[in-house]
Structure 1
Amino acid sequence: MSVSSWRLKIKHQTGFTYGGKVASSYNEARMSPRNEARQAVLEARVEVWPPARTYRYEDYWGTVVTAFDLHSPHEELQVTAAATVETLPAGDLLGPSEGAGWSDLAVPDNVDRWHELLLPTSRTALDDELTELAGQLKGGHPTPHAAAMATCQRVREEVTYASGSTGVQTDAVHAWRQRKGVCQDISHLVVGLLRTMGIPARYVSGYLHPRPSAEIGESIVGQSHAWVEWWVGRWTAFDPTNGVPVGERHVVVGRGREYGDVPPLKGVYAGPKNTGQGVEVAITRLR
């Protein structure tokens, strides 16, 4: 790693409380960062309360999953993921005229290769207004990469970031119509627009240190975060919510078609309904 890398310590706590005793539950946590080109995982662990035996595997999309089940009565479930990750700044960025052309993306081999990342999903499907906007953005730019960057800018200009304005089930159309949402909604909008243009796009889930000038050793309230990657001969990443390339403040956990492929915690259980979910993320810059 170069001297310009960051070292981040992340602690993510989440879980459910129930309106009585739950007899059993089966769960999956997607809260562990990945080892990849721009980030090295130095340490990662996931702890569960009540205690349970866990096992890890990589899912279809390459996300690390910690799976566990509980068979003793419990009224709450808590999962804590801790990790130390070294990250790199944004690297070799493409210029507006660089990357694959529109005709390259239309080649049958490329369409077949990225088929799943060109289809709409329940959260990324567009209505007529957004489909028309996708056509305008595509027609107004000579390269797919230029159109993708313009799409990020347009969505950021039109949709105000407003914490609590939407939920995990909100789709792109709803967020667009109310012109506000969170990082998940902004990313779903960008992904949906890009796919409609014929640009393979994927949803990325992870963490963001919110301060570019973070003090060493200061622990602050962080956040789960979402951003976008698109393929124009190679994958390139951008954070449309903040209008910045993905760099040392971003930590990747998983990728997929949309949020439904990478939720931090999901499961099924037998018992009374849950009465709430708590989430806390603390991030400390170690160097």
Structure 2
Amino acid sequence: MSPQQTQTQTGSAQPDGPAPSRWRLQVVHRSRFSYGGPVRSSYNEARLTPENGGRQTTLRSRVEIEPAATAFTYRDYWGSTVTAFDLHTPHEELVVTGTSIVEAGPEPVGHEHVGWEVLRGAEVRDQYGELLVPTRLTNVDAEVGAQAREVAGDLPPHEAAAAVCRFVNGHMEYLSGATHVKTTAMQAWRHRKGVCQDISHVTVGMLRALGLPARYVSGYLHPKRDAVVGQTVTGESHAWVEWWDGGWCAFDPTNSVEVGTRHVTLGRGRDYGDVSPFRGIFSGAGSEGHTVSVEVTRLA
């Protein structure tokens, strides 16, 4: 069996501007896998259903599979909705399309920010331990950890986290093709180049080095802050970060903005490996590659 390729996430650095409190967005995410001959069987899972709650409401969502397959959905350990399916009829192409309509807005306001003494306490470390330890993709070395602490200085946790996000944005160049899906935070940081996946991995690693529970967020970004209602454009799979300082705060370090009306959340995890949009294995002819397209329409 050979593993199907997973999708990298991209996102262009573009500042946000004044916007209505909520946008209604339609997202069509299509993955097409081609093979050199018949594939006899495959086992797959897709994370293409946006979350419902918090700052966004998912009004409609469906996942279509060609060739047709029986699918079932479940929530994974991190709370993402997974569509799982397997195919046992020969096929030379697999197309998986997720279509969703979502109302998205800014993060809700209202939690009390805690101090460093609370974050260093046993209760926080016990509850959020999995989001405090490094993973292979988010691990940063002692020197980078020291840089994060220098940036944080004497700031309280909430301000320190935002400062780290902006620091990473200011020291990494967004460059598509400079990295790949398995690139680690340190590999991207050494070259100071990467896509939103890499920028988010570096940021998560630095936030954890400070002692802040931090998680990687997968989703979509409408590329135009002044989007015209009804116009369909090429959108982007995207990634950003969240940290806990008494409540969860979201920030997009690639664009150096708070998460808002242009962001659609799919899922969260320790790193990209927990939330990749598509994952599977297949038996049969070799892969001839895959293509991914994302179309976004602002409906209101």
Place the TM-score, normalised by the shorter chain, in its bin: over 0.9
- 1:35 aligned counterpart, secondary structure: coil
In 2, Cα distance between equivalents of 1:156 and 1:57? 35
The aligned runs of 1:95-106 (5 Å cut-off) are: 99-106=113-120
Shift of residue 87, structure 1, vs aligned partner: 1.2
1:119 matched to 2:150? The reply is no
Quote the residue 2:228 is aligned against: 215
Matches of 1:255 and 1:201, distance apart in 2: 10
- 1:35-184 equivalent positions in 2, closer than 5 A: 35-92=52-109, 99-138=113-152, 140-184=153-197
Q: Give the fraction of aligned pairs with identical amino acids, expressed as a percent.
A: 53
RMSD of the TM alignment (CA)?
Answer: 1.4
Flag as ranges the 4+ runs of structure 1 deviating above 6 A: none
Gaps of 5+ in 1: none
Tell me, yes or no, if structure 1 residue 10 matches structure 2 residue 27.
yes
How far apart, CA to CA, are the structure 2 residues paired with 1:209 and 1:23?
Answer: 37
Aligned residues: 281
The C-alpha deviation readout for 1:32-87, integer Å capped at 9, x for no partner, is 10101211111100000111011111100000000000001111111000000111
CA distance in 1, matches of 2:35, 2:135: 30
Q: Please give the TM-score of this superposition, normalised by the length of structure 2.
A: 0.91
Residue of structure 2 in register with 1:21 after alignment: 38
Gaps of 5+ in 2: 1-19
Paired residue secondary structure (1:79): strand
Give 1:93 shift: 7.8
**1:239-275, Cα deviation, whole Å (9 max, x unpaired):** 0000110011111100000000000000011123322
Q: Superposed, which structure 2 residues align to 1:193-232 within 5 Å?
A: 193-232=206-245
Distance 1:93 1:203 in 2: 22
Give the TM-score, by structure 1 length.
Answer: 0.95
Residue 104 of structure 2 aligns with an amino acid whose one-letter code is T
Instruction: Please tell me the residue identity of whatever aligns with 2:40.
Output: A
Q: Where does 1:226-265 land on structure 2 (aligned, <5 Å)?
A: 226-265=239-278
Q: Is the Cα–Cα contact under 8 Å of residues 90 and 248 in structure 1 kept in the other structure?
A: no
Distance 1:240 1:25 in 2: 36
Classify the secondary structure of the residue corresponding to 1:129: helix
Alpha-carbon distance in structure 1 between the residues aligned to 2:32 and 2:80: 20
Aligned AA for 2:24? R
Deviations 1:78-130 (A, max 9, x none): 10000001112344288xxx711111101101110000000111100112331
| Greater RCO (CA < 8 Å, at least 6 residues apart) | 2
Write the letter of the residue equivalent to 2:259.
V
Q: Secondary structure at the match of 2:48?
A: coil
Q: What CA distance in whole angstroms lies between the structure 2 residues aligned with 1:111 and 1:158? A: 30
